[in-house]
Amino acid sequence: MAVVPESGSEHERSGSLHTPGSGRGSPFRSRRHHTVQRRPMSPNMKRYSRMTFSAPIAAAAPTTRFKRATVTVLAAAGLAGAALTFAPSPAQAAEPAAAPKAASAVSAQKGTGGGNVDAWINEALSIMKAKGIPGSYEGLHRNIMRESSGNPNAVNGYDVNAVKGTPSKGLLQVIQPTFDAYHVAGTSNSLTDPVANITAAANYAADRYGSIDNVNSAY
């Protein structure tokens, strides 16, 4: 619909909807109402004689398709973040497997009976030397670690001796009859006493195999 300005100025005749000096901006930039008057009309057309331009139209809301795509992307990003957050590194995954080995080594070296394997061996060697029983630190230590892993309270409850009612016990897995026959005087009478168990086993090994160093089996 054509619009004819009231005055005859060049600006007004141009039909522009913005004021001089305002640049080429959109009429939506100003919130003031701009009113222009047409040439005289019949009474029936007066209701169309004035035009009012209101505030800018709000931007259209995102389409449903766009919303769904946005949610999908954000959800995927969240899952990826969770995977990164919660996924362990190779070094972390390997640590639990290594820890038990270290703990076992320390336990075996110190024993689980409140003593120390090295100290027990050295005390036994001192008694063996005085009694003329052959054997070395290496021979004793090797057999102790193989038989009981340094646990003076270790008991074998499944072999033939256990079936007969005389299970192997102690650091060197000695059965009661052997301990009684080869017990070394001056040591404890308890089969599971570390030093008494070592010296009795070494005494038996010397009689049967020449030395504990030559033994690679139970006594």
pLDDT, one tens digit per residue, over 75-131 is 444 544 433 333 334 443 444 444 434 333 334 444 444 469 999 999 999 999 999
Task: Give the structural domain span for 141.
Answer: 115-214
Q: Is the separation of the CB atoms in 176 and 170 below 8 Å? A: no
> Which of these, 57, 41, 60, lies nearest to 3 by C-alpha position?
41
Residue 37 resides in a domain: no
**What pLDDT is recorded for position 101?**
40
Residue 32 resides in a domain: no
**What pLDDT is recorded for position 92?**
39
Alpha helix stretches (DSSP H) within the chain = 10-13, 64-86, 90-110, 117-131, 137-147, 160-164, 176-182, 194-209
Residue 197 resides in a domain: yes
Residue 121 resides in a domain: yes
pLDDT, one tens digit per residue, over 138-151 is 999 999 999 999 99
Q: What gap in Å lies between CA 219 and CA 216, rounded to an integer? A: 9
Residue 3 resides in a domain: no
Neighbours of 73 (CB within 10 A): 10
What's the CATH code of the domain at 206? 1.10.530
Residue 26 resides in a domain: no
**What pLDDT is recorded for position 216?**
79
Neighbours of 115 (CB within 10 A): 16
Q: Which of 13-27, 31-45, 57-71, 195-209 has the highest mean pLDDT?
A: 195-209
Residue 164 resides in a domain: yes
**What pLDDT is recorded for position 46?**
56
Residue 61 resides in a domain: no
Mean pLDDT is lowest, of 79-88, 117-126, 165-174, 185-194, for 79-88
Please tell me the total count of domains within the chain: 1
